[in-house]
Amino acid sequence: MNASEFRRRGREMVDYMADYIEGIEGRQVYPDVEPGYLRPLIPTSAPQEPDAYEDIISDIEKIIMPGVTHWHSPYFFAYFPTASSYPAMLADMLCGAIGCIGFSWAASPACTELETVMMDWLGKMLWLPQAFLAENAGEGGGVIQGSASEATLMALLAARAKVTRHLQAASPGLTDAAILDKLVAYTSDQAHSSVERAGLIGGVKLKTIPSDDKFAMRASALQEALERDKAAGLIPFFVVATLGTTSCCSFDRLLEVGPVCNKEGMWLHIDAAYAGSAFICPEFRHLLNGVEFADSFNFNPHKWLLVNFDCSAMWVKKRADLTGAFKLDPVYLKHSHQESGLITDYRHWQLPLGRRFRSLKLWFVLRMYGVTGLQAYIRKHVQLAHEFESLVHQDPRFEVCAEVTLGMVCFRLKGSNKLNEALLERINGAKKIHLVPCHLRDKFVLRFAICSRVVESAHVQVAWEHIRGLAATLLGAGME
């Protein structure tokens, strides 16, 4: 493919993409395929001679689209939103064209510097404390990670390295193994499974703190666990607080937990993967109060801020705590500016060496929507969630199971878990809308998350009538 054909095929592909998005409402939201459907549809090995481009494009509809779950359908209400917008797609195209691997400033100065500035822009939109920003020669700063899972792991590993250095400075005879054996981290019983995974990868004990009746971690329960573990000779060093839990979008009590972490000398990491985008709205910013106690903070613009995956924003108060845990400088990566104090080498802030020019899509989205446009988008989703909540409340057969704060509603039929499992099976079996469940204590609960950029009130109304109709059939069959 030469440049001339690329121009022509590129226009065709943009048209195909726009047609797909404009027509996505007409596609079945969840596919009909069974595991292994794809292998029989394609050759067993790569072609020896080139295929025609037209044949490849034809195979998209024949082979790929039948197995696609349409996350951006207005009838997709599962998981959490994954962001998508035309400006971000265009920026990703440019990222692919530039094709730099921005592991250091020298590897592509614009890739590094735009990311640093964009993270400051985003931090200011959230009213983050100045300590988290890189401007004015601050000690903190931001980095775009691939996911919140990576951010949590990076924070845990940085905290582990920091406490190890501190303990060995006080007691030089202490070995890494002796310290690691006693380290313990904490999170709520509502935290995402990626926190537990970070503990496994980091080789440290992770203990869950029982949440309260609002599914939030409280200082009293955390302090009780700390005292018990210190008495047993363990070393508490790391706490993950969640703002907007995956199960029910609950919020750990930062203003309580933060001071405990600071008093005990523990690293506090905040995981706000979904909810963090809402903090750009003044009416939701109070949910982030207490961030001043944190050592690191993370949320995903690729969930709810119209920036396509992957773009997970992470800030640290003291970047030296992060880079000090991972800094390696082989001669082939060194450059003349690295000790100047004027630049950032993001390879020291992340697990992989290579990184894409991800800040381009953040730059495009922030400029083309503006803060007010993004705030309006968040507010619309929250309003639609409250609309669905109101519909649930109007039907005495159903109950809302957790406080609705942002864009998700947890609900269920009044009755047994078996009844609600059957309802969900019928909902997803019909493939008109798509939902996923959660467990809140001993209850099997359905989650209704407002996800699509193009979802409107009419889609929510259709979804609710569909759910009510399936529930009526189920109850009419005598199931309780």
pLDDT digits over 333-382, tens only?
555 555 544 567 777 777 777 788 899 999 999 999 999 999 999 999 99
CB neighbours of 322 closer than 8 A, spacing ≥ 6?
A: 154, 155, 158, 296, 316, 348, 349
The chain-wide mean pLDDT, for the chain, equals 91
Q: Report pLDDT for 362.
A: 96
Q: Report pLDDT for 342.
A: 52
Q: Report pLDDT for 315.
A: 96
Q: Report pLDDT for 75.
A: 97
Q: Report pLDDT for 479.
A: 62
Residues across the chain: 480
pLDDT > 70: percent of the chain:
95
Sheet of 205-209: strands edge to edge? 141-145, 312-316, 296-299, 267-271, 235-242, 183-188, 205-209
Q: Give the pair of three-digit tokens for residue 204.
A: 């440290």
Cα–Cα distances in angstroms (integers) from residue 426 to residues 438, 460, 462, in the given order? 16, 18, 16
pLDDT greater at residue 242 or residue 174:
242
Q: Report pLDDT for 29.
A: 96
**Per-residue pLDDT for 106 more than 80?**
no
Q: Give the pair of three-digit tokens for residue 26.
A: 């007409």
Query: pLDDT band at residue 332, thresholds of 50, 70 and 90?
Result: very low
Q: Report pLDDT for 480.
A: 62
Q: Report pLDDT for 23.
A: 95
pLDDT > 90: percent of the chain:
78
List phi, psi (to 5°) of 239. Answer: -135, 135
* pTM for this prediction: 0.91
Query: What tens digit of pLDDT does each residue of 156-177 get?
Result: 999 999 999 899 898 888 898 9
